[in-house]
C-alpha cells in the first residue's frame, strides 16, 4: 500500500506537467497505451485515439492488432506516434510492418515480450468472443439481442465495415489477418531476445521493451539495445498471480538506475496513480482502458476530455503534495508499506 506525504505551505500556484520522453517534449507525463482492437469500441478507433492524443499534447502507441492502417493513424495525429510490435505472421510479416512504420514517421518501436501464448481470458469466453469472431450467424444468435439493444453502436460498427481484419499484419498470398486467427497467430509468434538483434537492423530509431517485471529482464533488455523499458503485467490479462506492475517497479528502477527511462502500465485510472508511479521511479505512465472507454463514449472529444481530467487530477495533487513539476516527484512524497 502506498500513501502520500504532502508538504504544506509551498507556493505551487503554477504546477507544470510538461516533460520529455525519448527526446520528445510532451504536455503530460503519460502516453496512450497500445490497446488492440480499439476499432471494435468506436469507428476508426485507433486513428481517432491518435488524433485525440495529439490534440491533448501527448503520444499515442498503436497496437499491431489494430483495425486501422498504420499510415492512417500517423496522419491523424499531430503528435508523436509509436508502433507496438507483435511478431504475428512471422518475421517477414513483422519486417514489412516495421518498414511501413518507419516510412510513415513513427518515432519509436515498442516490442511486447510477455505473450509467448495468449492468457486464458475467461471473461472473453463468458462474453462469447469466440462466437462473435466466428462470422457464423448461427453461432452469434445467443448475443444478437445485445447488438439490437445498442442500435447506435451497431450502426457505427456496421458503417465502419463490421468485424475488422488487421491491416498491419499482411500475410503473403492472403492479405490482412482475420480476427478469428489472432489467438493461434500469437501462440506462434513469441519474441525472444535474439529477435531484438534483427529488429535493430531494420529499425534505426529507439526501441522500447514492454512486459518487464524483473530486474534481470530489465538489464537484459538494456543489453540488447532498449532505449527504455515498460514495467507491465499486460493489464492483468496474461499470467494469473503475476505481481502488479507497481510492486515490481522499485526493483527495476534499482537495477537500471534512477536516470534510466523506466515506464509503467497496467491499472492506472487516476491522476494520483500516475504520481505514485513517478514517486516510485517511473518516468512515464502508459494509460489504456480509461482512454478506450472515453473514446467509446465520445470519440476524439472523449479522449481529449479524459486527458483533461487526468491532467487536472495530476496538477491538483502536485499542488497538494507541494511540488511544481513531475521531475520533483520522488520517494519523499510517498510512504510505502506492505498491505
Cα 323 from Cα 315, distance rounded (Å): 9
Q: Strand pairing of 24-26 and 19-21?
A: antiparallel
All three cell numbers of 227: 532505449
Q: Which of 257, 262, 259 is nearest to 245 (CA)?
A: 262
Share in percent of the chain as helix, strand, coil (round to 5): 45, 15, 40
Which residues are part of the catalytic machinery? 234
Strands (DSSP E) found in the chain: 2-4, 19-21, 24-26, 30-32, 60-62, 81-85, 109-112, 166-171, 175-177, 207-212, 228-231, 262-264, 284-287, 334-336
CB 256 within 8 A of CB 233: no
How far does the chain reach from its first CA to its final CA, in angstroms?
Answer: 5
HSE-CB for 30 with a 13 A CA cutoff: 32
Cα 288 from Cα 266, distance rounded (Å): 8
Amino acid at each position: 500500500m502506498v500513501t502520500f506525504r504532502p508538504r504544506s505551505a509551498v507556493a505551487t500556484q503554477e504546477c507544470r506537467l510538461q516533460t520529455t520522453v525519448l527526446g520528445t517534449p510532451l504536455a503530460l507525463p503519460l502516453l496512450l497505451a497500445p490497446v488492440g482492437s480499439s476499432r471494435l469500441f468506436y469507428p476508426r478507433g485507433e486513428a481517432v485515439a491518435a488524433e485525440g492524443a495529439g490534440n491533448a499534447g501527448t503520444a499515442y502507441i498503436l497496437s499491431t492488432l489494430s483495425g486501422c492502417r498504420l499510415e492512417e493513424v500517423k496522419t491523424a495525429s499531430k503528435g508523436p506516434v509509436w508502433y507496438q510490435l507483435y511478431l504475428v505472421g512471422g518475421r517477414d510479416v513483422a519486417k514489412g510492418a516495421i518498414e511501413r512504420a518507419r516510412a510513415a514517421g513513427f518515432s519509436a518501436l515498442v516490442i511486447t515480450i510477455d505473450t509467448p501464448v495468449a492468457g486464458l481470458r475467461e471473461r472473453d469466453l463468458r462474453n462469447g468472443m469466440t462466437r462473435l469472431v466466428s462470422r457464423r450467424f448461427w453461432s452469434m444468435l445467443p448475443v444478437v439481442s445485445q447488438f439490437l439493444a445498442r442500435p447506435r453502436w451497431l450502426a457505427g460498427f456496421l458503417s465502419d465495415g463490421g468485424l475488422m481484419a488487421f491491416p498491419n499484419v499482411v500475410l503473403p498470398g492472403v492479405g490482412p489477418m482475420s480476427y478469428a486467427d489472432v489467438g493461434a497467430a500469437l501462440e506462434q509468434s513469441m519474441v525472444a531476445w535474439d529477435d531484438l538483434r534483427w529488429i535493430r537492423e531494420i529499425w534505426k530509431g529507439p526501441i522500447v521493451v514492454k512486459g518487464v517485471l524483473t530486474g534481470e529482464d530489465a538489464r537484459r533488455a538494456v543489453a540488447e539495445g532498449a532505449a527504455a523499458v515498460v514495467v507491465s503485467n499486460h493489464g492483468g490479462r496474461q499470467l494469473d498471480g503475476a505481481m502488479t506492475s507497481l510492486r515490481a517497479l522499485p526493483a527495476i528502477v534499482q537495477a537500471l538506475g534512477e536516470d534510466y527511462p523506466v515506464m509503467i502500465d497496467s491499472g492506472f485510472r487516476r491522476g494520483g496513480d500516475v504520481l505514485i508511479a513517478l514517486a516510485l521511479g517511473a518516468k512515464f505512465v502508459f494509460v489504456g482502458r480509461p482512454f478506450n472507454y472515453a473514446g467509446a463514449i465520445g470519440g476524439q472529444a472523449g479522449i481529449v476530455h479524459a486527458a483533461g481530467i487526468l491532467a487536472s487530477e495530476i496538477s491538483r495533487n502536485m499542488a497538494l503534495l507541494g511540488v511544481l513539476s513531475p521531475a520533483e516527484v520522488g520517494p519523499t512524497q510517498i510512504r510505502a508499506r506492505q498491505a
